[in-house]
Amino acid sequence: MESNESFKSEDNYTVIKEGIIQELKRCMQELKDDFKTYIEKNYNGYDKIYKEIRALKELIESSSIFKKERIALFVDSQNLYYSARMGYAAKVNYEKLLRLITENRNLVKAYAYIVQPPDGDVKPFATSLERIGYIVKTKDVRTRANGSAKANWDMGIALDILGILDRVDTIVLASGDGDFVPLVDFIKAKNRRVEIFAFAENTAYDLKERADRFQPLGENVILT
């Protein structure tokens, strides 16, 4: 009698155990199905949000508000040389000048214009500028029949500016030469900004007034 009851107890335990296992499996399957349904129902929503965020990012990056200003630099080395020599009895540090002008803007190109004197060699100077990142152009001094000499880059600078005007937002001219006033007016008429970086004492008044920005140079660009 006791033996039969024992068998019945074991059978009941087995049935209960199997029932619990089956119930756990059913619950796990329901959870799995519910989770799968949740992912499927919300996937399109998440994908839409992702696409909207990506589109917003692209809009911000292409916006002129966040777009870096594109500049081109044109350095009248002869003008800066005489200005620095007269004011400071020193030379210009062109690497500091480049950093000062560029700041956090996008520098498209930087030109430096040099005059080759009859009794000197500007090649070492030109090489040093090229290493910094300038595109260097040199011109020989022309001697007239009357013995006077002429050498300036006014026309060459103007032509190079015209050639790059459509690719930049701002033209930066490192020179105090008043002969550039008509060029400044022309650039502004083309809806481009013009900045003048030069030594104040040797910069033409009209050049300061016509430019969108005039930045006086001083000891911050002097070679020590």
Helix 123-132 × helix 94-102 angle, to 10°: 30
What is 70-221's CATH number, 3.30.470.20, 3.30.70.1380, 3.30.429.10, 3.40.50.1010? 3.40.50.1010
Number of helices (H) and strands (E) in the chain: give both, helices first: 7, 8
Q: Residue 11 to residues 4, 17, 18, 23, 150: CA-CA distances in angstroms? A: 11, 10, 11, 18, 117
Q: What are phi and psi of 50, to 5 degrees?
A: -60, -45
What is the reported pTM?
0.69
| Cα dihedral 185/82/92/154 (nearest 10) | 30
Q: What is the pLDDT of residue 17?
A: 67
Residue ranges of domains in the chain: 1-67, 70-221
d(CA 75, CA 71): 13
Partner residues linked to 72 by β-bridges: 109, 171
Residue 180, CA atoms < 13 Å, CB-side half-sphere: 35
Q: Which two tokens stand for residue 201?
A: 């004492």
Output the tens digit of pLDDT for each of the chain's 224 residues: 555 555 456 666 666 767 777 877 787 787 777 777 776 777 666 566 667 777 776 666 565 556 799 999 999 999 999 999 999 999 999 999 999 999 999 999 999 999 988 777 899 999 999 999 999 999 887 665 544 445 678 999 999 999 999 999 999 999 999 999 999 999 999 999 999 999 999 999 999 999 999 999 999 999 98
Q: What is the pLDDT of residue 4?
A: 54
- Which H/E stretch holds residue 173? strand 170-174
d(CA 168, CA 152): 25
Q: What is the pLDDT of residue 143?
A: 61
Tokens 């013009």 belong to residue: 194
Q: What is the pLDDT of residue 213?
A: 97
